[in-house]
Chain A
């Protein structure tokens, strides 16, 4: 038995922001690899097939990439000035309260995504799963529809909806609960993160619901039947039979969610466009908007590159954790 460790991280990210993801191959992949061993070397074929990808990547990714990562060790000031400063950028970063704020905000957002967004997606998927087919497609489209538009649009749309006194959200709150007409979602530091989370819920609950729906459909019904015959209640069946059968997808979705959260950029930028994505007292600052600010608005590409390193390392760490997690879940 050959653990296909090198191919353990097969991403299936279809995150609309195009962010990276690492998906669980886990037992599924290993089983397949066991059953269908790859054939021996076929000479030029694989190289030829991968050539387009490799050539394009080498041309348009590698060169900018090396350029960018090297910059982390330089300070830049103006178009030509560049001085090697070693780790000074990183030292500045780790002493900058804005960096920690960005890290805090982004992490909170990631946690909110996992613990708010995913249960909602899962819940909706369960609800939708047990209904008639015709309506299911209809509701699937409706709940997925926020993903048909871009993040920038969602940000701008919600910046208008959150307008105090006249916006849809405040007026709805006032009508339903007689509260909240003047709440300043985007200028009150305490409400900026909730506003961002709510907006992200609107977009991505439907998206992850689609994943969970597909997973639910592929769960072995006989297992569920068996459990029910044994006298288990609906919740018990779900928790002990259905959910474990879906664990690959669940882990995958959780990881995609977290990684997408750490790469969040366009949404806060558009939502908090009056403050360039910062929000009052940096309450909306995320790691990538912080990077963008440092690199492009204050013109210090070196600092921007240093932040890029840090973000990459964070995502790398999370991916490593995910390998462990999915391996553990196998056992």
Chain B
């Protein structure tokens, strides 16, 4: 029996007490909080470890699981060395490349991809939801099939294509080929289907063009889906590693995940501390976005599938 065991005992002991004293409702409520609390601890533990690793000096990386005991805190065990290393310019043929440049690259990549995907997907989804036209069924079947293909398979021929188009090692080269996404189109289709047709007809009677209907009438109604889509698309691109890794060659074009992974993939000099520090910093934009969009994200996710 040590500290941990006493803690666990303290955690679970109130249960029988509550049960006897205040009845099952209170006990259940307490048990619920304990369960949620434990789940949160399990989920957060690696992040706490991550936080500790960010500030721990390399020499004590494996010495302490989390933070060193307070008695051992000193500039030798805890320092900002990882940040210094991260922000140091990495030499390249084009001159030193700094951390903010990778952030900029990732930002351009993620935001432009997301916005472009939003436009293309919402347009296409609306068309599929509210129009009948020849070839519609075939198109949808095709789109469904396209989502079942493992994307790794297409890597080699796509590389050749991008090289031929002279887009290799450029940001447009990793943005443009992936703008068209079938699941984005389907998402917006799902969201647009529940827009009442009467509204569309009213718009037409008022002399609104088809595009105008899409832009002024329909899109405002599917804002939750747009928000949800933006969050997911941004997350996906911000953290995307595989394809950019293959298509980008110059240091100055690298995105964050590529650069950070280099710290642990190097054959001579792996530095997990810097890798974890960079990743911790890279978590901030997605976290901010999620916090801002939580509610819309949830309602957007299930619009259509849940209602009705």
Chains A, B in direct contact (C-beta < 8 Å): yes
Docked-complex contact A150 and B308, CB < 8 angstroms: no
Task: Please name all residues of chain A whose beta carbon is closer than 8 Å to the beta carbon of B155 when the two chains form the complex.
Answer: 296
- Using CB atoms, name the residue of chain B closest to A308: B153
In the complex, A291→B154 CA distance in Å?
Answer: 12
Task: Please name all residues of chain A whose beta carbon is closer than 8 Å to the beta carbon of B301 when the two chains form the complex.
Answer: 12, 14, 210-211, 214
Docked-complex contact A27 and B308, CB < 8 angstroms: yes
Kindly state the interface size class of chain B when it binds its partner.
35 or more
Would you call A284 an interface residue if the criterion is a C-beta within 8 Å of the partner chain's C-beta atoms? no
Would you call B290 an interface residue if the criterion is a C-beta within 8 Å of the partner chain's C-beta atoms? yes
Docked-complex contact B307 and A218, CB < 8 angstroms: yes
In the complex, A127→B47 CA distance in Å?
Answer: 23
Would you call A1 an interface residue if the criterion is a C-beta within 8 Å of the partner chain's C-beta atoms? no
Docked-complex contact B140 and A215, CB < 8 angstroms: no
Docked-complex contact B193 and A36, CB < 8 angstroms: yes
Task: Please name all residues of chain B whose beta carbon is closer than 8 Å to the beta carbon of A157 when the two chains form the complex.
Answer: 46, 50, 276
Task: Please name all residues of chain A whose beta carbon is closer than 8 Å to the beta carbon of B149 when the two chains form the complex.
Answer: 20, 65, 308, 312
- Cβ < 8 Å to A, chain B residues 15-51: 32-33, 35-36, 39-40, 42-47, 49-50
Would you call B54 an interface residue if the criterion is a C-beta within 8 Å of the partner chain's C-beta atoms? no
Known contacts: A23-B190, A49-B214, A145-B43. The answer to whether A6 contacts B294 by CB under 8 A is: no
- Cβ < 8 Å to A, chain B residues 234-250: 235-236, 239-242
B245-284 interface mask toward A, CB cutoff 8 Å, 1 = contact, 0 = none?
Answer: 0000000000001001100100000001001100100110
Chain B interface, DSSP helix/strand/loop, else mixed: helix
Docked-complex contact B153 and A304, CB < 8 angstroms: yes
- Using CB atoms, name the residue of chain A closest to B228: A14
Task: Please name all residues of chain A whose beta carbon is closer than 8 Å to the beta carbon of B50 when the two chains form the complex.
Answer: 157
Would you call B130 an interface residue if the criterion is a C-beta within 8 Å of the partner chain's C-beta atoms? yes
B119-160 interface mask toward A, CB cutoff 8 Å, 1 = contact, 0 = none?
Answer: 111011011111111001101110011111111111111100
Task: Give min CB distance, A274 to chain B, whole Å.
Answer: 12
B200-222 interface mask toward A, CB cutoff 8 Å, 1 = contact, 0 = none?
Answer: 11000000001100100000000
Docked-complex contact B197 and A39, CB < 8 angstroms: yes
Docked-complex contact A128 and B232, CB < 8 angstroms: no
- Using CB atoms, name the residue of chain A closest to B137: A6
Task: Give min CB distance, B293 to chain A, whole Å.
Answer: 11
In the complex, A60→B7 CA distance in Å?
Answer: 57
Docked-complex contact B308 and A31, CB < 8 angstroms: yes
In the complex, A265→B241 CA distance in Å?
Answer: 12
- Cβ < 8 Å to B, chain A residues 1-55: 6-7, 9-14, 16-25, 27-29, 31-33, 36-42, 45-47, 49-50, 52-54
Docked-complex contact A36 and B196, CB < 8 angstroms: yes
Docked-complex contact A148 and B121, CB < 8 angstroms: no
Known contacts: A11-B186, A16-B235, A32-B193. The answer to whether A252 contacts B150 by CB under 8 A is: no
Sort A-B residue pairs by CB-CB distance and give the 10 closest, nearest first.
A20-B147, A150-B239, A64-B157, A56-B180, A49-B127, A46-B131, A67-B157, A60-B177, A45-B210, A308-B153
A–B Cβ pairs within 8 angstroms, 13 of them:
A10-B186, A11-B144, A12-B305, A16-B239, A23-B190, A27-B308, A28-B308, A39-B200, A56-B179, A137-B294, A142-B43, A150-B239, A296-B156
Given A32-B304, A60-B178, A295-B152; 5 other pairs, CB 8 A cutoff: A22-B144, A31-B308, A64-B157, A65-B146, A214-B302
